[in-house]
Amino acid sequence: MRKKFPSGEYELLAELKDNLNIKNSVWETGIGDDAAVRLCYNEKLIFTADTSVENTHFDLNTMCMEEVGYRAMVSNISDCAAMGAVPDSALIQLVFPDRCKNIKESIFQLYNGFSKACKKWEFSIVGGDLSVGNQWIIGITLIGRASVRVVTRKGIQNGDLLWVSGVPGLSAAGLDALKKWGRKDASALFPTLVNNHVRPVPQVTLGRILAENQHVHAMMDLSDGLSKDCATLAYENNLGLDLETKNIQIPDTMIQLSKKLGTGWQEWFMHGGEDYHLLYAVSPDLNPKEICSGVESLYLGKFTNNHHGVLVCNDAGEYKELSAGSWDHINRTGI
């Protein structure tokens, strides 16, 4: 029986990869991971790209231009961290809308956001392109460096344990608060959740620490949502995953917001995206809490060769198939 693709995007990329069929010995990893890896003397170069589109990835009614720029850069930094690398330099391709009245000021604010991320993680913007269009589109290409081994999505072994570097769903909860009350009121009511959405923190240092440990077998950036990204890891490694999340302590603010909105926090936890945590699979011999001081490491479940796909344990102790609900550009657009 053929395994089901974890998402429409994954299926499309797999078909594109087969069609391209590019082989070059200097490229260790190409299409299909958080970043591409190029061999370069005594270190490896990491190449990743991400696009932020107005009204798809951000809404100017809930975020200012500086926050949009910061967050767009962070999404790339997180991909770099997921490979165990540090950011080195970036190229920015920017499309601004012709309807914008204060275009220079808006672009300066956007670059202030880029700059804050660059200063915090000590790298530079070295070039790019600028054009006019129908809406804001921010394309960023980030180059990173890895002096230790690169950790990819593949390498998980039967019995490995899955961990995450923070509570999934906080960003999605913050976004729903922003949609409900607007920036001013939402920030007053649920400041922590809003901050998780507009100012996420990629786990660059943690990524390096994990990459140095041979018991860490695979790693992935948690950006599209737990249900989708877990399915991708399971599929990539031809394994199943049994999620055991019922003992995770959910923040009170997340529960309070779910009651106010009448939305189950489980939706944010399982399907919400843009957390920019790290999902990582480790040998049962390693307790990440012993090497990741200062980081909230949460156990999520165990990989198994007894089945394919992702099962989640309910309150009755029964394992049920986890339904897809995370962001999927292809299936959502009907392509």
Token readout for 97 is 């809308």
177 plus 301 within the same structural domain: yes
Residue 278's pLDDT is what? Answer: 97
132 plus 181 within the same structural domain: no
Dump pLDDT digits (tens) for 174-195.
999 999 999 999 999 999 999 9
Alpha-carbon torsion angle 272, 186, 188, 100, nearest 10: 110
178 plus 47 within the same structural domain: no
- Among 146, 169, 193, the domain boundary falls at 146
In a domain, 13, yes or no: no
- Among 146, 171, 199, the domain boundary falls at 146
CATH number at residue 55: 3.30.1330.10
Q: How far apart are CA 174 and CA 225, in angstroms?
A: 14
Whole-prediction pTM? 0.86
Give rounded-to-5 percent helix, strand, coil for the chain: 35, 25, 35
CATH number at residue 237: 3.90.650.10
Residue 260's pLDDT is what? Answer: 97
How crowded is residue 97: how many other Cβ atoms within 10 Å of its Cβ?
14
Tell me if 325 sits within 8 A of 267, measured CB to CB. yes
Cα-Cα end-to-end distance for the chain? 25
Q: How far apart are CA 130 and CA 74, in angstroms?
A: 20
168 plus 137 within the same structural domain: no
The Cβ-side half-sphere exposure at 209, using a 13 Å CA radius, reads 14
In a domain, 5, yes or no: no
192 plus 311 within the same structural domain: yes
- Of the candidates 278, 260, 50, the residue with the CA atom closest to the CA atom of residue 167: 278
In a domain, 190, yes or no: yes
> Which residues in the chain show pLDDT less than 50?
1, 333-335
Tell me if 10 sits within 8 A of 32, measured CB to CB. no
Residue 128's pLDDT is what? Answer: 87
109 plus 63 within the same structural domain: yes
261 plus 223 within the same structural domain: yes
Strands 86-97 and 161-164: unpaired
Question: What is the total count of domains within the chain?
Answer: 2
The 36-40 sheet, strands edge to edge: 27-29, 36-40, 43-53, 137-146, 86-97, 124-133
In a domain, 22, yes or no: no
In a domain, 259, yes or no: yes
Q: From residue 6, give the alpha-carbon distance in Å to each of 238, 286, 325.
A: 12, 28, 11
| 3 state DSSP class of 6 | coil
- Of the candidates 327, 185, 300, the residue with the CA atom closest to the CA atom of residue 245: 300
Tell me if 270 sits within 8 A of 225, measured CB to CB. yes
In a domain, 263, yes or no: yes
In a domain, 24, yes or no: no
179 plus 215 within the same structural domain: yes
In a domain, 11, yes or no: no
51 plus 84 within the same structural domain: yes
Token readout for 329 is 């550009």
174 plus 142 within the same structural domain: no
Question: 140: Cβ–Cβ under 8 A, 6 or more apart, which residues?
Answer: 49, 50, 51, 52, 72, 73, 75, 76, 90, 91, 92, 93
Dihedral sign, CA of 125, 128, 131, 135? Answer: negative
Q: State which residues form the domain around 188.
A: 161-333
Residue 148's pLDDT is what? Answer: 77
Token readout for 310 is 């992702």
238 plus 316 within the same structural domain: yes
Task: Sort 316 into a burial class: Cβ within 10 Å, 0-12 / 13-18 / 19+.
Answer: exposed
